[in-house]
Amino acid sequence: MQPSTKETYQKNKLAGTFWEIPPALKSANFSCFVIGESLSFFGSWMTQIALIWLVYQLTNSAFLVGIAGFTNQAMGLIITPLVGVLLDRWNLRYVLLTTQLVSILLSSILTFLTTNNQISVAAIIIIGTLQGIVKAFDLPARQVIIPRLVDKKSDTYSAMASHSFLINTAKFVSPMIGGVMIARNGAAACFFVDAISYLPFLSAILTIQVKPLANQSLSAKSKIWQNLKEGFIFAYEFLPIKYVLMLQVIICFMAMTYVNLIPIFAKEVLQGNAETMGFLMTASALGSIVAGLYLISGQKAHILVKIIALSTIVLGISLIVFSRINQLEFGLLLIFIIGMTNTLTLASISNFIQLVLVEEDKRGRVTSIFTTGFLGILPFGNLFFGSLTSQIGVANSLLFGGVFCILGGYMFAKQMPTIKKIVEPIYAEMGLINPHKQE
């Protein structure tokens, strides 16, 4: 087994020299899934942008924008960890089919209410809460299923990086088109596009082949609460995952909320409109594309921890500088860097977790704990920064978040030697690093 590991390492090293199609994308099974889901994310991001702008247009209140963001994702904190237990038991194909159908229904309702001028903040909050429940099942299921679509375990990093890249491509296109559509056709057009964007993903879910989990039946025999406890204990005791999850909480609470603050920043600081917001969102998403291209080009698995630490610190610095400007040109450059480093950090954390998870029967639970950072911690960040912005202004709120990102990146960097010592044997076993040469 030793020669094959060395041979795999040499092959990966040579492949990283020149950019080529990632191995996972050479699989029709995986490509069908990830392209379909990227189209569904295109519509989802348009809806998120439209809802934020619609709430601010209806109320002119930064606090209510925070409330809307909170209700859209708050259910994630309550149910997402439990969802992980269920995903380790349930048929993932049926889970994803159900979440897409419900998403189509909710987006269609938003389209109808907005078109007929019956939309209200109360309706947005109710539908947002239901969307949050759907996301609590949908987002972890998408990540958990990915390692079961690839042919080889060593393709997991390539699959996760490709997944992040195509998702961020959708994130790049949707703000640009969404800002224009809101300005010219209203938010209802975005909701309608969202409703039909799930159809290609539905087709992909019905087409793909999913590898069965060998010990799934054993997991099903245990009690749900016991399984839930096992997932938390594993995430806490396995230090590499523990440290990246702690950093993720800081990023989601202190930095990710900048997305909800962009409409306020565009109007109050830059004196702009919906198109100004669209430009800022597009620049941010373009930064995410660049980050995705970097992660997808070559094998970056062995340096993910370094990427996480450095990008977090740069993210904090960029937020601080962005908070001090009042010109669109400089704002576009800085929001580009913010989008790039934010994606580098969170995508690298996601890729890292899926890569070092060697116990398949815990993948759903640990992935759901990670997803809780988006669906659970983020809404509290939206609520906190919505209130903070009402008190100290949007610029000072962004500065506040940037300072804590720098502190979080510094604390994580201090744990890098411990993380490296634990994960290097895992990388060597997968053929991602040379087992006879420590870097």
pLDDT tens, N- to C-terminus, the chain (439 residues): 444 444 444 444 444 444 567 777 777 888 888 888 888 888 887 887 788 788 888 888 767 777 776 776 666 667 777 777 777 778 888 999 999 999 999 999 999 998 888 888 888 888 888 888 888 888 888 888 887 887 776 677 778 778 777 776 776 677 667 777 887 888 888 899 899 999 999 999 998 888 776 555 444 455 777 777 777 888 888 899 999 999 999 998 998 888 878 888 888 888 887 778 878 887 887 888 888 888 877 667 778 899 999 999 999 999 999 999 888 889 899 999 999 999 899 888 988 887 887 676 677 778 777 777 666 677 778 778 888 988 898 889 999 999 999 999 999 999 999 998 988 887 777 666 665 554 4
What pLDDT is recorded for position 1? 42
User: Given the structure tokens 């698995």, which residue do they identify?
Assistant: 301
- 298: nearest Cα among 27, 1, 12: 12
Whole-angstrom Cα distance, residue 168 to residue 174?
Answer: 10
- Helices vs. strands in the chain: H and E counts, helices first: 20, 0
Instruction: Determine the angle formed by the axes of helices 274-296 and 328-356, rounding to 10 degrees.
Output: 40
Whole-angstrom Cα distance, residue 217 to residue 361?
Answer: 10
Q: How many CA atoms lie within 13 A of 373 on its CB side?
A: 22
Which residue type, as a one-letter code, is found at position 221? K
Helix (H) or strand (E) holding 130: helix 121-145
Q: DSSP per residue over 212-249, as a string?
A: PPTTHHHHHHS-HHHHHHHHHHHHHHSHHHHHHHHHHH
Q: How many CA atoms lie within 13 A of 379 on its CB side?
A: 23
What pLDDT is recorded for position 439? 44
In a 10 Å sphere around its CB, with 0-12 CB exposed, 13-18 middle and 19+ buried, how is residue 221 labelled? exposed
CA Rg, the chain, in Å?
Answer: 21
What pLDDT is recorded for position 172? 63
| 284's tokens | 């941010």
Which residue type, as a one-letter code, is found at position 152? K
Domains of the chain from N-terminus onward = 23-208+224-430 (1.20.1250.20)
